[in-house]
Amino acid sequence: MAKEIKKKFFEIDAPLLNDKMESLAGSIEELHNKTLKMDLTRHLKGKSVDLVMSIAVKDGKAEASPKKLTLLPSFIKHMLHAGIDYVEDSFPAETKESKVVIKPFLVTRKKVSRAVRRTLRNSAKNWIIDYLKTKTDFEIFHDILSGQMQKPLSLRLKKIYPLAICEIRIFELKNSLGVKKEEKVIGEIEFKSESNPETNEVKQELTENIEITEEKPKKKSSKKKEVKAEEAKG
């Protein structure tokens, strides 16, 4: 009879959230290549955001790196009302390190013509593509969560037409460009102050909102099919 392996909690470092969390496993190696899903709604002033991170184990330490960020439909639906128009888009782009898919979401303050919506969509796309080229993956996730990416984009589009909402609905990493990652210190995300190491309340909240799943191997598909699948979801 095989001896049952006793499971225990292993610590996972999440640099993006300036926090650490724990997961139950038989060994720390079991966490490698698994995904960690977190609901950040409580920490972003009511903005409903799901963050998916990939766990990598190296030298006996587990670290979670951001992989996909999603603004939930419930938040978007709450912000929509009569007398406004919304503009959405989905397109592939590149950061300093990866090929990505990004979906901006804009809401105007009043009804606008199709020509204005088209201009907003094209201007946002051009600005975002240029912006992503100058940033690492980690920096972009940080900027989206802290609003540092949306603010300058909103100011740019304000010259075309004032916006009520300027958000990134989905940002997802696809393929690595094989570029060596840069180590750079970035400011803390706004909700970091809630994670006080002297209390267990926030740590318990994070643990409750964590869902760890095994990452399944992706089926081989062309780049075009991959992008089209994302557009269909949007």
Q: Among 52-61, 141-150, 186-195, name the one with the lowest average pLDDT.
A: 186-195
Mean pLDDT of 204-216: 47
Mean pLDDT of 105-113: 92
Mean pLDDT of 160-186: 78
- Predicted pLDDT at 75: 80
Mean pLDDT of 5-30: 84
CB 92 within 8 A of CB 101: yes
- Predicted pLDDT at 207: 41
- Predicted pLDDT at 200: 39
Most confident of 120-129, 159-168, 208-217, 219-228: 120-129
For residue 2, give the amino acid letter: A
Q: Which residue has the tokens 């100058």?
A: 134
**Six-digit token string for 139:** 């920096």
Between residues 52 and 6, which one has the greater pLDDT? 52
Does 178 have pLDDT greater than 80?
no
Most confident of 35-44, 71-80, 115-124, 208-217: 115-124
- Predicted pLDDT at 192: 37
- Predicted pLDDT at 197: 38
Q: Among 39-48, 58-67, 102-111, 154-163, name the one with the lowest average pLDDT.
A: 39-48
Mean pLDDT of 73-81: 81
Q: Among 4-8, 57-61, 63-67, name the one with the lowest average pLDDT.
A: 4-8
Q: Which of 203, 169, 200 is nearest to 74 (CA)?
A: 169
CB 52 within 8 A of CB 31: no
- Strand, coil or helix: what is 189? coil
Mean pLDDT of 111-129: 96
- Predicted pLDDT at 196: 38
Mean pLDDT value across the chain: 79
Mean pLDDT of 62-84: 87
Residues with Cβ within 8 Å of 131's Cβ and at least 6 positions away in sequence, in order, are: 149, 153
- Predicted pLDDT at 193: 33
Q: Say if residue 84 is exposed, middle or buried (CB neighbours under 10 Å; 0-12, 13-18, 19+).
A: middle
